[in-house]
Structures are given as structure tokens and as C-alpha cells.
Structure 1
Amino acid sequence: MKIGMFNSTLEWLLMSDPAIRWQVMRDMQDAPEAIWREERSKVETEGWGAKLFSSQDTDGQWAGGAFFPAGFTEKDWHKEGQPWTATCFVLNQLREFGLPPTCSCARRTVDLIGRNSRWDHAQEPFWEGETEECINGRTVADGAYFGADVSLIVTRLLSDQQGDGGWNCERANGSQVSSFDTTINVLEGLLEYERRVGSTPEIRTARQNGEEYLLRRSLFRRLSTGEIADERFLRLTHPNRWRYDVLRALDYFRDVSLFTQADPDPRLAEAIDHIRSKQSAEGRWVLDWSAPGRTWFETDEGVGKPSRWLTLRALRVLRWWDAKAKR
């Protein structure tokens, strides 16, 4: 990317919410830690983070439920699609926004959710998880990030790993093969747990086997035939919620590389080339699609328009890859 276009794109990213600005400062501008941390602290009191907290229930939840809003029915699902306003999805967003985990709102929320929130599945305590690996993976990521004890869920996820190295929410229904969607949710959770709480040989091996599941498939291909496993994996969305795409996977591999100090795996190259090909003439990345369903508010300008979230993620992935490739 030409320098002028790059600088223009950074200016565009910085004309946004604190949740994006602090990450641009840290990941793209190499700002001093004190500077980006000061910007990050604004997530609690300004913009999208403050909006989410303004919608919080007095018991610490959102929309009255852990996974579904209170009173949400099967009829609502068929009419509207899966809802995204309940507690677990809001926590996912607050973690992505970078809400400081030690701020007063975060500490209060973790405590209240632990005391009041129960999973829809069988009324399990929130920080003990439920049965689906997708949900449990994200709950581990949120809990580890915000300082809740999610060790019981980690133990369950290790026992739920499939023989091919990944995970699948349909395991309880008899599935013996993994899915891209479930695997990325669990991998993000295990990595966050290792980073915030600590690792063990068992956790590290499980994470590495899950990464190998994706890498052997070049992040988007069938192992058996080499064909594209799902065209949606090449179309970019945000927020991902539980869904997989190659940019989410690449951002994960960047994250784990920074954590372990390992060089990028060359099997990521095809996915990297795909992300490069999707950059617009203005140096940005467009939102290809967005899942329907209730939200508190939108953080992008709409399908078919440039997305600041996607652009941030793509730029930092490419910066990481290109820097490592020059070694």
C-alpha cells in the first residue's frame, strides 16, 4: 500500500470509537504504552462501551438472559434470526473493544454475572459454562480476560476435543469430526486462558492440535479434496459472533504468534493472499455480509461499505506477516 493511502486509512480508522482507536495506536502506530492505555481507558465511559453499559440490567446481565433475551421464543427466532443482545454476546463485544478488565464496570459485571446469570441449557452458573463447545470457548475467553474462574470449562473443553484435533458443537449429537466455527471459538478461549491465567502441557498440546486442524486445511479448504469447505469462510463479516472466516483465523494466528514468539506458518500464505485481494482501491476492506438478529447497535456502516473493524484486523495481520517474511 502506498504511504499516502496508508496514512489516509489510518486517519479514517482514528476518526472512530475509542475501541478502535486504541488498537490502531498500539498495533499500527507503535504508540507508547501509556498513550494507548489512556485511550483504551475511555472504552468504559465513552462510545460503544458506554452504550452497552447503559443497557445493562441491574443484576449484571443484558436483555435478561445468558444466551437468549428474556422471553425470546422459537417464533421470534424464525422471524428475526438469532439474537445478539444477551449477556454472553455483550461480553464478547466488550472483550473485543478492549474494556480494561480491572476497571470498576468490569469488576462489578463479573461479580454480578457470577451470582445471577444462568445458562438457558440447564441453569448452569454462567462461569461454569454449559455443554456447547462454541459457547464454552467464548466463555473461557471472556472469563479469562475479565478475571473470572473458568478452569472447570477449560477442563471440559480438553475432554471434548475430537480425534482430528478440533472441536464441534455437534459432538454431543454424535459428530466425530470437527468444524471450523467451533474450533476457532475454542482456540481463542484457550489462548486467552494461557495468556491471562497460565498454561499447562495439556492446554498447550490441545491448542496446538486445534491450530494444526486449521493449518492442514489452509484455513478454508477440505482436507479430503482440497476444495473450499464453505464459500462464507472467504467472505468477511463483523462481529463474527460464533462464525468463522479466514480473517478471524489469521488474526488469531497473529495473536498466538505474538504470544509464543513463533514465526508465521507458511500454510497461512494462501489465506493472506486472499485478504490482500479484498483490499479496495482506497486501502480499506468492505463488510461482505452481516448476520440478522437483534443488536443493541451497529458498529459498522453496513454491508457493502468499508468496515473499520475489518480494515484494522486486515492491516495488522498483513503488517505482522510482512514483517516476519522479511526475516
Structure 2
Amino acid sequence: MDLTAWLRDSDPALRWQVERDLVGEPPEVWQATRARVATEGFGARLLALQDPDGQWAGGAFFPADGAKSEGQPWTATTWSLNLLRDWGLDPGVLAGTVEKLAANSRWEYDNLPYWGGEVDCCINAWTLMNGLWLGADIQAIADWFVEHRLPDGGWNCEWVEGSTRSSFHSTINSLRALLAWDTSTGQTSAARRAGEIYLLERHLVRRRSTGEPVGPWLDDFRYPFRWSYSVLYAADYFREACLHDGAAPDPRMAEAIDRIRAARRPDGTWLTVGRHPGDVWFEVDVPAGEPSKWVTFHATRVLAWWDAG
């Protein structure tokens, strides 16, 4: 199979990234494909579902009418913005959304204002990234991450319940937010570096206390990533962070990279374990057990970076 041709034969939301990061097309090529996200395919479909008040499904994190199927619903505002941002939508297409959400959207937790964030690390991470992308004032959320880092170096969404141990899931999402912040400010923050060390000391895979793997979800490769940790999600972050910092890949990632490489099939593709259960507006990837273009793209890109490093 011609892996590159297979990956390029995809929605503009994925195709422009393949053209830029795997094929090495000149900017005028991949930028033209990226511009199509607003008018074609997944991006256009999701944009058309935005409510007049700036939200999706009438809610900040959960739809106003609740879940219709088992699992977390993925249709509300935060999840929709996450996808559009990840797909490379020009933020200008959403002009006015910052103001509409400020006026109309409140978190389900304590009815807090949307751009102020709330108490959950992952929710605040996505709000920070979406706010940076759309031009909202989210300085307070950036400061919140520095203040709420735990003594072991990472973060845990259960801190509000008294947890003092960091979580792989919460930490990787917090790191993504801080990397977005550092990219916007041109710096490498001490809080982000401490969170990276938390994961690297555990080789992205193991408990520091026992050396055992942290969970069966380490090799759950899927798209969208949503909130859950996997070695692919983590390696994808460290690739971006190293490129931002001008650093070489850290050798402590080797075990995680080996796990990613071991999952590659002879034809060069990776299978998806299937998306997280719950309501979605529409499917963006194949069912469980089938070769996923999204997973294959991210895994191929990570291995190319690692091998070059």
C-alpha cells in the first residue's frame, strides 16, 4: 500500500497536516488545504452546528439536554472547540465567539463564567488552549496551573477532593496547555518543565513506586485523543515540546516509543481501539479494529521525529 497516498486521501482536517508534517509540501500547498477546513468536510459540518449564542449543544462541557447514550457526551462547546482547533480552523472564522461565550456560557460546576475556567485541570487546559487560539483573556488560567501543580511535579483533576498524587491523564493535558502558553509567550516555563520531568522519570509508562505499568490504557491508540493518556498521546506532546524548545528527544522516552513501534502493522498502519463511548455529532474515524488514518498519522510523525533525533 502507498501509505502516503492513503493518508492524503482524507478530510482536509487531516490532509493538511499530512502534507505539512509527513510529505513536506511547501506552505502554499498545505495552507490552501488547511483553509478548506472551514468550508468542507468535518470542519464545515461542525461549524454549522454552532448555536446562535456561541455554544454547541447549549452547554459548556455537557449538552443542555443531557446524554442520549452511555458514556460522556462529546457534543458541547468545549469538545467542539477542541476539535476545530485541532483541525487547524482559522480562528477568524469564529469571530465573535469569545464574546458570545463570555455572555452566554457558564460552567456546570458552580455556574462559573466560561473564560475564567473552573477547578478541573483538564477542563482548564482545554479552556486555556481554546482561549489562546480565539484571543480570549486567559492569563488567570495560566497562573492557575502554576499555583495548582502538586509537590511531585504534575497535576490531578482530583486535587479538589484532596488528592496529592499527580495523574498521568491530568498531567499530559495540563502540559499541553502550558506548552500552548509557552509558545504564545516564547518561553519555557518552570512548571511545564517540572511536569515533563514527572512523566520522564516514569519513562512515560511506569509507576515510580513499583515500576509497574500505570494502566491497561497505555496502548489505547485512538482519535480523538479526548482526555485519556496513552504513550502515543504523550509522545505526540513531547515531539511538539522538543521542537518548541530546540531540544533532542529524551532517551527516557525509549520504552514508550518501542510500544508505539510494536503496534505498527506490516503495511505501515496502526489500528484504532475505537473512540470513547458517548454521543458525538458525527464520526471522524473508523470503528475499533480497523486501520486509522488519524492514529497512523500521529504515530508515523512521532517515529519519524524520534528516529531523526
Q: So what's the TM-score if we normalise by structure 1?
A: 0.91
Moved more, 108-117 or 209-218: 108-117
Matches of 1:15 and 1:111, distance apart in 2: 37
Match of 2:287 among 302, 308, 313: 302
Count of residue correspondences: 309
Residue 54 of structure 1 deviates from its aligned partner by 1.1
Aligned counterpart, 1:141? 129
Match of 1:57 among 41, 48, 51: 51
Cα distance per residue 1:174-198 (max 9 Å; x no partner): 1010000000111000101111244
Q: Is the 8 A contact 1:145 1:196 kept in 2?
A: no
Aligned counterpart, 2:271? 286
Matches of 2:245 and 2:186, distance apart in 1: 13
Pairing 1:239–2:227 present: no
Q: So what's the TM-score if we normalise by structure 2?
A: 0.97
Pairing 1:87–2:81 present: no
Matches of 2:246 and 2:134, distance apart in 1: 24
Aligned counterpart, 1:100? 90
Cα distance per residue 1:51-105 (max 9 Å; x no partner): 1011111111000000110031xxx48x51111000000111111111122x2x2
Pairing 1:37–2:31 present: yes
Aligned residue for 1:119, secondary structure, equals: coil
Q: Is the 8 A contact 1:118 1:126 kept in 2?
A: yes
Match of 2:166 among 169, 175, 178: 178
Matches of 1:128 and 1:170, distance apart in 2: 19
Matches of 1:221 and 1:127, distance apart in 2: 35
Aligned counterpart, 2:181? 193
Which runs of no fewer than 5 residues in structure 1 stay unpaired?
A: none
Q: Is the 8 A contact 1:237 1:245 kept in 2?
A: no
Match of 2:10 among 10, 16, 21: 16
Aligned counterpart, 1:71? 65
Pairing 1:222–2:207 present: yes
* Amino acid aligned to 1:34: E
Cα distance per residue 1:194-242 (max 9 Å; x no partner): 112444xxx7100000001111111121111111110111221221211
Q: Is the 8 A contact 1:144 1:197 kept in 2?
A: no
Pairing 1:113–2:101 present: yes
Cα distance per residue 1:98-139 (max 9 Å; x no partner): 1122x2x22232332222211111222211101111110111
Q: Is the 8 A contact 2:274 2:286 kept in 1?
A: no
* Amino acid aligned to 2:78: C
Cα distance per residue 1:237-268 (max 9 Å; x no partner): 22121111110100000001111110000001
Identity among equivalent pairs (%):
49
Aligned residue for 2:35, secondary structure, equals: helix
Aligned residue for 2:274, secondary structure, equals: coil
Matches of 1:122 and 1:81, distance apart in 2: 22
Pairing 1:270–2:264 present: no
Aligned counterpart, 2:195? 210
Aligned residue for 2:222, secondary structure, equals: coil
Match of 1:47 among 11, 30, 41: 41
Aligned counterpart, 1:322? 307
Matches of 2:292 and 2:184, distance apart in 1: 29
Pairing 1:126–2:114 present: yes
What value does the CA root-mean-square deviation take over the aligned residues? 1.3
Aligned residue for 1:80, secondary structure, equals: coil
Matches of 1:171 and 1:211, distance apart in 2: 19
Matches of 1:26 and 1:146, distance apart in 2: 23
